[in-house]
């Protein structure tokens, strides 16, 4: 890698060869593959997790049991540092199964006999991301349907990657909440309008009532079953009015600062989507 790191990465499916990366076939429920992943490593950056599942058990399997398995493998291998990627959703564990599972994973990491740090990124966007793609598609059509009025923070995936590498090399602990540097975050309407500028359209935004989003989640479950993207769990998460990072949990400025202005990052993401034929 550019900074001289040697990287082993876990994968559940075949991956193309990539300079500086050794792919380890396996999964979080395969202890032998986790041992192979952690063997000889100085640092584990635990990014893997479940963001969508049909029930609480699905989130627990990936985010709680999976994190515990990775911690155990790191301990067996004598890893010196464990960087855990959580979510702002962990601040509201009773709001959704996802948030509850992330809070439980944080508790496991905090109790581990390792040097650990927890990163809680806000909404992540950037090239390759399919979670925000639908929002870009709506903006390209000139209309963005948003959750009820509220605020959120954002971070570009490249800025987050730089932070995780910085945390891997540091001794800082506790919980870190990074963002794009915009104090107070973005209102949902401001974000929708920024998406419009990113795709070159003047857009209309509409904050949907909580009931409408709940009904849409039920409809998605009826149509797509276990493959539903808008689950009831996600609907509860989306409708929360405050997903802005806490300033008192910002990364130390000597360690990391965001380098990608969100307006420019959104525009670059839209261009990438178009180049790949996604938008």
Report, as residue numbers or ranges, the catalytic residues.
Answer: 98
Strand partners, 7: 21
b/e 61-72 (16+ beta carbons within 10 angstroms → b): ebbbbbbbbbbb
Q: Cα-flanking dihedrals φ and ψ of residue 158, to 5°? A: -70, -40
With contact defined as beta carbons under 8 Å apart, do 151 and 207 qualify? no
With contact defined as beta carbons under 8 Å apart, do 41 and 83 qualify? no
CA 5 – CA 28 distance, rounded (Å): 23
CA 39 – CA 255 distance, rounded (Å): 27
- Burial class (CB within 10 angstroms; exposed 0-12, middle 13-18, buried 19+) of 137: middle
DSSP-derived secondary structure for 175-233: EE---SS-TT-EEHHHHHHHHHHHHT---EEEE--HHHHHHHHHHHHHHHGGG-SS-HH
CA 226 – CA 54 distance, rounded (Å): 6
Query: CB-hemisphere CA count at 13 Å for 207?
Result: 13
């Amino acid at each position: 890698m550019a900074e001289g790191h040697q990287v082993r990465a876990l994968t559940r499916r075949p991956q193309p060869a990539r300079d500086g990366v050794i792919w380890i076939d396996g999964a979080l429920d395969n202890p032998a593959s986790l041992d192979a992943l952690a063997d000889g490593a100085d640092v584990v950056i635990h990014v893997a997790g479940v963001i969508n599942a049909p029930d609480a058990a699905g989130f627990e399997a990936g985010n709680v049991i999976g994190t515990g398995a990775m911690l155990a493998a790191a301990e067996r291998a004598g890893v010196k540092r464990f960087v855990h990627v959580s979510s702002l959703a962990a601040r509201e564990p009773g709001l959704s199964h996802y948030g509850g599972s992330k809070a439980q994973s944080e508790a496991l990491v905090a109790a581990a006999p390792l040097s650990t740090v927890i990163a809680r990124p806000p909404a992540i966007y950037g090239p390759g991301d399919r979670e925000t793609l639908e929002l870009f598609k709506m903006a390209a059509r000139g209309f963005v349907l948003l959750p009820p009025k509220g605020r959120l923070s954002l971070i570009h995936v490249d800025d987050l990657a730089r932070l995780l590498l910085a945390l891997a090399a540091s001794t800082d602990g506790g919980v870190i909440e990074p963002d794009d540097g915009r104090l107070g975050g973005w209102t949902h309407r401001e974000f929708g309008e920024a998406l419009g500028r990113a795709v070159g359209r003047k857009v209309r935004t509409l904050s949907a009532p909580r009931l409408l989003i709940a009904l849409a989640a039920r409809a998605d479950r009826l149509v797509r079953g276990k493959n539903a993207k808008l689950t009831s769990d996600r609907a509860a998460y989306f409708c929360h009015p405050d997903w802005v990072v806490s300033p008192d949990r910002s990364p130390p400025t000597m360690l990391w600062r965001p380098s990608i202005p969100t307006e420019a990052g959104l525009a670059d993401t839209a261009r990438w989507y178009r180049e790949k034929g996604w938008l």
